[in-house]
Amino acid sequence: MTEERFLKITDISSDGDTTEKIEMDSTCIYYGTPDNYTVEFDEIFAEDMKSRTVLRVKDSICAHLLRRGSINTELIIEKGIRHNSAYSTPYGELMVGITATDFISRADENGVYLKMNYTVDFYGDVNQTKEMTVEVGKVIHGRNDKT
């Protein structure tokens, strides 16, 4: 069953000198099983920059984050394994390495709690550490769509 739900994302980035925290509250479409689920939502980065984001968690140990729109990204986040990922913005393209140091996924009929700590590197040199928390809450009544 596909359900529209409340979504909260907290993203904390640090380059070693400065730390930035971004929080987003929105709605999302959520479907799947506790171990293999998908969360789809729209992200607005600026007035004229918007992307559709699909976050798929596989076997509660790996996340695939796909953005399409103003920002095009395909990240694979898996604990202990470095994945090369494409990151494209209106200003240019980058190839980055992503390595998760921690990955916690809990999902059931009430929602999702996903926490990923990972590093972002450019050509092997760690540039950022990140902590992303995704929380999917209760169903928005009257907007369910059975599939």
- The tokens describing 84, both together, are 């090369």
Determine the pLDDT at residue 138: 80
Q: How many CB atoms lie within 10 A of CB 139?
A: 17
Determine the pLDDT at residue 125: 77
Q: Which residues of the chain have a pLDDT value below 50?
A: 143-147
Determine the pLDDT at residue 141: 63
pTM across the whole model: 0.86
Torsion of CA 44, 52, 41, 94, to 10 degrees: -80
Q: Is the dihedral of CA 98, 127, 54, 20 positive or negative?
A: positive
Q: How many CB atoms lie within 10 A of CB 138?
A: 10
Tens digits of residue pLDDT in 4-13: 899 999 999 9
Determine the pLDDT at residue 59: 94
SS3 state at 15: coil
Determine the pLDDT at residue 83: 95
Determine the pLDDT at residue 132: 96
